[in-house]
Structure 1
């Protein structure tokens, strides 16, 4: 039935809009992602009831949960922003399984999943397709003397909404700094000291609040804190996610295709 194409059309349209807004304004709006999550869940619920298939009716919920879980893990590791997480949850709700019409594959994609785990395919496709561009970007950033995903600015010049790339905390009246570490949020939970007060958090999606800005600037004025801080760069990930979606719908899972090619070589 042609109705089976609705999630595909919505997914392709949503990532196209997300790519535009992410590149233009560094934001993926909630008014785009939230309705799509609901639409995806409702679509599979209605189709499942129509087909008398309870398992299929839950595909949207399972896909949204899996998409959110993958995105949130990336967020905790310091990679994605909140908009990326919600976009991936929406794609999981819309595409929990490989696109089909009346149970038959939409395209002759040989490396797909017909169970509600298609967000895994979307994620690996996005990583594979983004890897070369990210590598080039990281090398160029290093050659210019900066980090791939952060830049150093003066604390006296920080603004509301900026997201720090380091932890600044107070312990026994002393101000200390600490890197989030390679495991991001997990590093804080497993290895950080027992501070008296945490002044910056790389995992606060909203970034610096007006109060945070004033507190940090005041510490600089009093000479208690060096006038510098690493700030996360606003790297748009929507293009990579979008590329993964287009590749998954047209071709399928790039990961398995690569693995099979390596094994058979």
Structure 2
């Protein structure tokens, strides 16, 4: 079997398993993420040996480096957890080149590097996925969601409206229909931005902050409170996630419960982007 196909199948299986565990436990096992990373590296090296070329290794290294930088940024800004970041690094290697074998089956848009297409697809599909998932959370926790919604005061959205109107006016100067459509879409995003930001904050307060038993803590959990012992800080809520060592110290304090902030299981959006990128390439350019 072609190495490209093997690489795609292994990655697809890993993403499906990771999506299931992300939904159920809100975490991706280190064993899974490290196994995927080591496997894709091995396949790229094997590919280089068979082809007698350093190209697969060089491209793989470039893909890994680019997505490693993005993963670090997303992790340290608390957008993604450690598991998400590790999986992204593997995808950087997988999508360092588009699998040529798949061109016999699909006609993706490859006008821009496939690595960029994957990241754009992750952002686009991740945004839609995040909105729908947060709607699910709002319905599931509708009582607390409505209570938080009542507390929200109307904010001044004048600057968003003015910006949207300016962009709308500029769109009439553009003759190309597709470009005008993009400008109108940008104006729409600006109009809904203040409401979307408010909605996200309400979802976070009402649906994503939970009280859990201390013995349920796992490595990487975002504890939403400072924990101290005799004026010594064991855990700061500004931290990037609790460590195993900190969990052990917290358990010794005999705390029954801690407040944690749950993240949205984001790996399913990686899975969607993976499939869409293989079939269509850049989804934004494909439909324009």
Asked whether the two chains share a fold, i.e. TM above 0.5, the reply is yes
- Which range moved further: 229-238 or 117-126? 117-126
Match of 2:50 in 1: 50
Q: What CA RMSD, in Å, does the superposition of the two structures yield over aligned residues?
A: 3.6
- CA-to-aligned-CA distance 1:141-164 (integer Å, 9 cap, x gap): 53364643631538xx54433421
- Whether contact under 8 Å (1:33, 1:86) holds in the other structure is yes
Equivalenced residue count is: 224
Unaligned runs of 5+ in 2: 149-201
CA deviation after TM superposition for structure 1 residue 14, in Å: 1.3
Decide which structure has greater helix share: 2
Match of 2:195 in 1: none
Residues 228 and 205 of structure 1: CA distance in aligned 2, closer, same or farther (over 3 Å): closer
Match of 2:132 in 1: 133
Q: How does 1:1-265 map to 2 (within 5 A)?
A: 2-101=2-101, 104=103, 107-111=106-110, 113-114=112-113, 117=116, 119-137=118-136, 140=139, 142-143=145-146, 145=148, 147-148=203-204, 150-153=208-211, 158-159=214-215, 160-161=217-218, 162-166=221-225, 197=233, 199-201=235-237, 202-206=239-243, 208-214=246-252, 217=255, 230-257=259-286, 261=288
* CA distance in structure 2 between the partners assigned to 1:115 and 1:147 by the alignment: 34
* CA distance in structure 2 between the partners assigned to 1:166 and 1:150 by the alignment: 14
What is the TM-score when the length of structure 2 is the normalising length? 0.62
What is the TM-score when the length of structure 1 is the normalising length? 0.67
* CA distance in structure 2 between the partners assigned to 1:53 and 1:240 by the alignment: 33
Residues 72 and 233 of structure 1: CA distance in aligned 2, closer, same or farther (over 3 Å): same
Residues 241 and 158 of structure 1: CA distance in aligned 2, closer, same or farther (over 3 Å): same
